[in-house]
């Protein structure tokens, strides 16, 4: 039996509403298959004063992926038997097609379809129907990398898997969830809420922050397989109890799904079958987070310690950080004091896949902006900057970025800062053969904006700003999925006469999309 600091767990739970302020939330901690502490605070709907409770069902969003993969293992047993089915979803793809397991392990190399909705002209709040997904996926012609060689988070991987499951079994996914996971785990009220416009139990998700105030989030997307499940804290803790009860059964679904994954070169990977592998407070943890505008969730399980944590908010606070703080509290683990950083680390570069990479340091940390949100790095004994799965080092040849968790290594190319640029030069219309979609760049009164058009309509005017010579950023702060892509990197392409011929646009979830000037 693992000894834990129950007083520290209780104090950390008590502090969550203040540390992560917002309308409401729930959290629970389990040890040895039993609930040792829970909290429910605030309101599911602040306008009606509907309390948040342990039985309030909230969207668990991408935590759904592990349920989809467990259904795959239960219903189809051997994923490789269905590798040939993938081609039907990618009829125009020109490279090596991913296997079903590579889809489940986020090693497909495909661009994320929620990020691509921005480039297809979608507004954040507009409906995205079930029938919109497969035509968007079918337009893909290239990927980020050969399947199996690297990691890249991609929601449409699991959308394809869910379609294969339903086609092969002749059953709807919700029925399969009930049969193979929810029923055995005694998750009594969990449901598939594929239509995000109608959350369960009258719950409301809130955008905003303590600084700006909170306002109801408007969602209208349909998702299934990659997300869509709604569950309560009570049911999620029942799931954790089921995981614990089957922990020593090598044939159990969760045990099979949570086996350490690998890349095709045999190197260890940190993601497999819809589960992220992490190390917290000296424990090997397996879990996942979830996000939709107005909601955040995270669950994690340390099998060796028989410790589980679940956190869910109906606002956009850091559920992963909250869950991690509870694991640390349980184990009596304190984050070591960081060492002050030497000067000279700040800067910006062009990183792997042509993405703008920035480093902004504080006294004893540096925030790396490369893969979506900021990753906080601290100084290691070997004078590198590190975060879990990320190493930034510098030497006589320059700065290198190693992302162990992604199986990637790259020398960063320095990029001089640029506060202003000739906006009129880049203004014009561009077309992407990859997406069969368009972009127009408009210079207006000193401001520069990009507007995307495609199968989902004509989107908002997104702000642009110069970052360096022939490099711009395009800001997308809100999109159909959450978190939004953030800053896209737009790199200008020139012909032999140094005239602009096109651009390459990318973000972490959708990289290296080519556009030609028309």
Q: Work out the number of other CB atoms within 10 angstroms of the CB of residue 279.
A: 12
> Pick the catalytic residue: 18, 62, 234, 501?
62
Residue 65 catalytic?
A: yes
Q: What are phi and psi of 296, to 5 degrees?
A: -145, 145
3 as an active site residue: the answer is no
Q: How many CB atoms lie within 10 A of CB 268?
A: 12
User: Peptide bond preceding 470: is omega within 30 degrees of 0, i.e. cis?
Assistant: no
Length of the chain: 518
- From 3, 18, 34, 65, active-site residue: 65
* Contact by Cβ (8 Å): 206, 45: no
Q: Assess contact for 276 and 286: CB atoms under 8 A.
A: yes
User: DSSP string of 426-444?
Assistant: H-EEEEETTTTEEEEEEEE
Give the span between the Cα atoms of 209 and 23, in whole angstroms.
Answer: 10
Q: What is the Rg, in whole angstroms, of the alpha carbon atoms belonging to the chain?
A: 23
Residues 6+ apart with CB under 8 A from 244: 30, 32, 33, 301, 306, 308
DSSP string, 90-102: -TT--SPPPPHHH
The answer to whether the beta carbons of residues 263 and 148 sit under 8 Å apart is: yes
Query: Where in the sequence numbering do the catalytic residues fall?
Result: 62, 65
């Amino acid at each position: 039996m693992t000894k834990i600091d129950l007083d520290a767990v209780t104090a950390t739970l008590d502090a969550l509403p203040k540390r992560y302020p917002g309308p409401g939330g729930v959290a629970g901690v389990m040890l040895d298959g039993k609930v040792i502490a829970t909290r429910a605070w605030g309101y599911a709907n602040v306008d009606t004063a509907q309390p948040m409770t342990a039985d309030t069902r909230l969207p668990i969003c991408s935590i759904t992926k592990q349920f989809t993969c467990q259904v795959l293992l239960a219903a189809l047993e051997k994923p490789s038997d269905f590798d040939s089915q993938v081609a039907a979803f990618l009829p125009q793809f020109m490279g090596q097609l991913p296997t079903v397991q590579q889809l489940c392990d986020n090693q497909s190399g495909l661009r994320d379809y929620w990020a691509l909705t921005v480039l297809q002209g979608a507004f954040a709040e507009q409906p995205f129907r079930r029938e919109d997904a497969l035509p968007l996926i079918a337009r893909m012609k290239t990927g980020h990398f050969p399947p199996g060689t690297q990691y890249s988070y991609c929601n449409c991987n699991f959308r394809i898997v869910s379609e294969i499951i339903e086609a092969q079994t002749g059953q709807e996914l919700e029925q399969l969830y009930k049969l193979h996971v929810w029923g055995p785990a005694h998750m009594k009220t969990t449901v598939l809420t594929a239509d995000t416009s109608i959350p369960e139990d009258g719950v409301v998700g809130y955008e905003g922050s303590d600084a700006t105030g909170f306002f109801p989030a408007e969602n209208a997307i349909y998702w299934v397989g990659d997300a869509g499940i709604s569950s309560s804290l009570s049911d999620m803790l029942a799931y954790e109890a089921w995981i614990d009860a089957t922990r020593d059964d090598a044939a159990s679904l969760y045990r099979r799904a949570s086996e350490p994954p690998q890349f095709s070169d045999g190197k260890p990977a940190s993601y497999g079958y819809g589960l992220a592998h992490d190390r917290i407070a000296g424990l090997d943890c397996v879990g996942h987070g979830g996000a939709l505008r107005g909601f955040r969730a995270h669950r994690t399980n340390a099998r060796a310690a028989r410790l589980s944590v679940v956190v869910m908010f109906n606002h956009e606070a850091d559920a992963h950080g909250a869950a991690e703080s509870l694991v640390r509290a349980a184990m009596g683990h304190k984050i070591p004091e960081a060492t002050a950083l030497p000067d000279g680390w700040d800067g910006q570069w062009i990183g792997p896949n042509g993405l703008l990479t920035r480093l902004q340091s504080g006294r004893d940390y540096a925030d790396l902006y490369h893969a979506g949100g900021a990753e906080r790095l601290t100084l290691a004994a070997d004078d590198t900057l590190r975060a879990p799965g990320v190493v930034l080092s510098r030497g006589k040849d320059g700065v290198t970025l190693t992302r162990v968790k992604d199986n990637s290594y790259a020398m960063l190319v320095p990029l001089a800062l640029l506060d202003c640029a000739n906006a009129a030069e880049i203004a014009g219309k561009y077309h992407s053969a990859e997406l069969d979609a368009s972009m127009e760049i408009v210079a207006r009164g000193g401001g520069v904006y990009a507007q995307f058009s495609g199968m989902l309509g004509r989107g908002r005017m997104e702000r642009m700003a110069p970052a360096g010579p022939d490099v711009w950023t395009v800001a997308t702060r809100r999109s159909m999925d959450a978190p939004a892509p953030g800053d896209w990197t737009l790199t200008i392409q020139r012909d032999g006469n140094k005239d602009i011929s096109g651009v390459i646009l990318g973000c972490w979830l959708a990289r290296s999309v080519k556009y030609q000037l028309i």
